[in-house]
Structure 1
Amino acid sequence: MIRALVSGTLHGDPQARTSQNGKPFTTGKLKADASENGIVWVSLIGFQETGERLATLKAGQAISISGRAKLTAWLNKQGEAQAGLDVMIEELATLRPRPQA
């Protein structure tokens, strides 16, 4: 199991959903800046309290999350290899935005 701690900004508003068996959960996308390596896209899923908290946040909010992670890879529309991360959130903290230079 991979445990990850990732900070970044929410890309789009998180979406509250309900599973087929009636369990609520929330999904979202986190944009993490990997400096010289570009951007890493992190797919988020939160259940129970973390899901409820994630659902209250809006696009552009700076957050830090930790949880169980799985690496993903795919080809974009141009055929270039892309990498990402799927994280089941266990802890979530909101962050203050960076001051603009």
Structure 2
Amino acid sequence: MIDALVGGKLFKAAEERRSSSGKTFVSANVRAADGEGEGLFVNVVAFSDSAKAALLALDDGDSVSLAGTLKIGTYQARDGSVRPSVSMVAQKVLMAYHVARKRKAAAEAGERKPGQAEMPRGGRDPLDDSLDDLA
């Protein structure tokens, strides 16, 4: 297995399912672009409560990033060509909502937390702009 971070868009809404043993899990498909810009579908399954809830909160077409274990294989398509098969067990789900929520919480707190580094002179955090494109 490979520890991986996959980013893409949710293809259809995620579905909650129940295993034969009665445990629930969520399955989803994420369309991610490969290095050449081609779309690649990643079959995703989530077992942790936080990952299940996050996937179920998303709609078709929402952007999402997933961290988890990746399995890569191949399958033979109907036309006889061999294509890649990518599956992931997602442990963490990150979406743009998380970034906005963290910023709002930090602004409301308005003070430095114990153990947090001091703000550079000028009161501007140089890393603050690094997540602007996610919000």
- TM-score tier after normalising by the smaller chain length: 0.7 to 0.9
Q: Give the counterpart letter for 2:92 in structure 1.
A: E
Identity of aligned residues (%): 24
- Residue of structure 1 equivalent to 2:11: 11
Q: Name the counterpart of 2:53.
A: 52
2:24 is aligned to 24
Detail structure 1 runs of 4+ shifted over 2 Å in the superposition: none
Asked if the contact 2:2–2:70 (Cα under 8 Å) also holds between the matched residues in 1, the reply is yes
Match for residue 78 of structure 1?
79
CA RMSD of aligned residues (A): 1.7
Report the counterpart of residue 92 of structure 1 in structure 2: 93
**Greater radius of gyration (CA):** 2
* Higher normalized helix content (fraction of residues): 2
Structure 1 or 2: more strand by fraction: 1
Pairwise CA distance, 1:20: 1.4
Superposed CA deviations along residues 52-89 of structure 1, whole A, max 9, x for unmatched, are 22112111010000101111211112111110311000
Higher relative contact order (CA closer than 8 Å, sequence separation 6+): 1
Gaps of 5+ in 2: 98-132
Report the 3-state secondary structure (helix = DSSP H, G, I; strand = E; otherwise coil) of the residue aligned with 2:80.
coil
Count of aligned pairs between the two proteins: 97
- Unaligned residue ranges in structure 1 (runs of 5+): none
Which AA in structure 1 matches 2:51?
T
8 Å Cα contact 2:50-2:92 kept in structure 1: no
CA deviations over 1:4-44 (Å, ceiling 9, x no partner): 11100011111111111111110000000114262221000
Secondary structure at 1:13 match in 2: strand
Q: Could you state the TM-score of these two structures normalised by the residue count of structure 2?
A: 0.66
8 A contact 1:72–1:83 mirrored in 2: yes
